[in-house]
């Protein structure tokens, strides 16, 4: 590592000498080819929640000089995201394409089948896993269904103009509007309603108000869908960032294939691998970027000064 080459706004290249540098150019979530290669089928068609520029450049540059790939390369952070959201993030709408009140209702696919336990845990511990489940469904689509008992509890993001939503007085009418298989959907809701157990609904805690005898179960916040008009929101998968990346020391130093630190090369943020596997607790991305960014910056400064 002797510096870096940049492209200036006028298109010309320039070489900058540096004794140490910190890579912080994000994961590969905006790179269609890398997403397909590492995350698998259908990930080429995911919406990207953020910038179109996080195409894995920093990761690839480091790998090219011998850095070690590390962490959960086939894993990523993804959420349920409006079905008609643009391919990349929209600064005006921002986070509001996400739809995170599903613990209050049920989620079905185009066949009208449920496929996750909407109440398995508080949403901060399930929203990332369930974003990934949606991409496995037909047409990479899912529908969050609520009745009037809970609509007032839906998060602000359900009330934006740019939302893919339908409402109807009947379940079959709602299914037709959302292009869900009518028979499958009505059967699912009938079975779900019959499986709801008594208890006190309390969305502020894991209330244990669950279903019995259906698969998948709903483990908390289970209430029958019986108060029309019914509302449904269409979502697909929006990817936030990828979990795989570079191997670093606790000083932020990038390691090579033999586990030796690469002189002058540090990394922080999304392009660090090994922080998240399978799931993610809400808020950890910015915290990881801030903490490891500070550590890597200090370490790089120390090395540059002593070089
Ligand atoms: C819509 C959305 C909502 C989020 N909400 C939360 C939240 O509530 N809480 C939370 O903790 N985290 C959240 N995150 C995740 C969090 O934003 C990221 O984990 C964090 O920003 C990662 O920081 P970073 O510095 O690694 O990458 P980024 O902040 O993405 O910065 C990488 C930068 O590198 C630039 N870049 C890429 N390639 C190159 C190149 N070749 N040359 C020059 N520049 C390049 C990019 O343009 C970009 O500016 C959210 C992310 C999104 C997209």
- Protein residue whose Cα sits closest to atom 29 of ligand 1: 26
Q: How far apart are CA 169 and CA 149, in angstroms?
A: 14
At 307 the pLDDT is 80
Mean pLDDT of 108-112: 98
Answer whether 241 contacts ligand 1 (Cβ < 6 A). Answer: yes
pLDDT tens for 137-166 read: 999 999 999 999 999 999 999 999 999 999
Q: Which of 26, 62, 71 to mutate to test ligand 1, by most ligand atoms within 8 A of the CB atom?
A: 26
Answer whether 109 contacts ligand 1 (Cβ < 6 A). Answer: no
Answer whether 252 contacts ligand 1 (Cβ < 6 A). Answer: no
State the average pLDDT for the chain.
97
Instruction: Write down the domain spans for the chain.
Output: 3-74+243-306, 78-238
- Protein residue whose Cα sits closest to atom 26 of ligand 1: 269
pLDDT tens for 47-82 read: 999 999 999 999 999 999 999 999 999 999 999 999
At 1 the pLDDT is 86
Range of weakest confidence among 38-42, 176-180, 280-284: 280-284
At 182 the pLDDT is 98
pLDDT tens for 2-15 read: 999 999 999 999 99
Which one is the CATH code of 78-238: 3.90.700.10, 2.160.20.60, 3.40.50.300, 3.30.420.40? 3.90.700.10
Query: Which residue carries 């986070």 as its tokens?
Result: 95
At 204 the pLDDT is 96
Mean pLDDT of 123-148: 97
Which fold is adopted by the domain 3-74+243-306?
FAD/NAD(P)-binding domain (3.50.50)
Which percentage of the chain shows pLDDT scores above 90?
98
- Protein residue whose Cα sits closest to atom 24 of ligand 1: 269
Angle at 35 between CA 29 and CA 39, to 5 degrees: 110
Work out the pLDDT band at 264, boundaries 50, 70, 90. Answer: very high
- Protein residue whose Cα sits closest to atom 41 of ligand 1: 57
Q: Give pairs for 290-298: CB < 8 Å, separation 24+.
A: 292/248, 292/252, 292/267, 292/268, 293/22, 293/24, 293/268, 293/269, 295/250, 295/251, 295/252, 295/268, 296/22, 296/24, 296/248, 296/251, 296/252, 296/266, 296/267, 296/268, 297/22, 297/252, 297/266, 297/268
| Residue 282: both structure tokens together | 């809400």
Q: How far apart are CA 71 and CA 233, in angstroms?
A: 34
The alpha carbon of 255 and the centre of ligand 1 are apart by a number of angstroms equal to 22
Could you tell me whether strands 230-242 and 47-48 are parallel, antiparallel, or unpaired per DSSP bridges? parallel
pLDDT at 263 over 90: yes
At 114 the pLDDT is 98
């Amino acid at each position: 590592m002797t510096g870096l080459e940049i492209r200036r706004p006028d298109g010309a290249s320039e070489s900058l000498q540096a004794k140490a540098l910190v890579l912080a150019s994000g994961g590969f979530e905006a790179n269609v080819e890398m997403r397909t290669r590492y995350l698998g089928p259908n990930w080429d068609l995911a919406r990207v929640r953020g910038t179109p520029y996080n195409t894995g450049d920093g990761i690839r540059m480091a790998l090219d000089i011998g850095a070690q790939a590390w962490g959960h390369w086939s894993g990523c952070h993804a959420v349920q995201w409006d079905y008609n959201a643009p391919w990349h993030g929209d600064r005006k709408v921002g986070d509001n394409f996400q739809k995170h009140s599903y613990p209050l209702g049920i989620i079905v696919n185009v066949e009208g089948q449920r496929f996750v336990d909407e109440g398995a845990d508080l949403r901060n511990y399930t929203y990332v896993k369930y974003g990934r489940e949606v991409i496995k469904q037909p047409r990479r689509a899912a529908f969050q269904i609520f009745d009037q008992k809970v609509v007032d509890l839906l998060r602000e993001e359900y009330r934006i103009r740019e939302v893919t939503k339908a409402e109807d007085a009947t379940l079959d009418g709602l299914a037709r509007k959302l292009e869900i298989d009518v028979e499958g959907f009505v059967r699912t809701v009938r079975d779900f309603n019959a499986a709801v157990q008594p208890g006190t609904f309390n969305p502020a805690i894991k209330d244990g108000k669950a279903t019995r005898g259906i698969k998948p179960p709903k483990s908390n916040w289970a209430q029958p869908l019986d108060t029309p008009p019914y509302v449904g929101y269409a979502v697909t998968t929006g990817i936030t960032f990828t979990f795989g990346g570079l191997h670093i020391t606790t000083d932020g130093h990038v390691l090579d294939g033999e586990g030796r630190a690469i002189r002058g090369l540090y990394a922080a943020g999304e392009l660090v691998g090994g922080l998240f596997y399978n799931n993610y607790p809400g808020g950890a991305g910015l915290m990881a970027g801030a903490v490891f960014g500070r550590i890597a910056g200090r370490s790089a400064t120390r090395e540059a000064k002593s070089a």
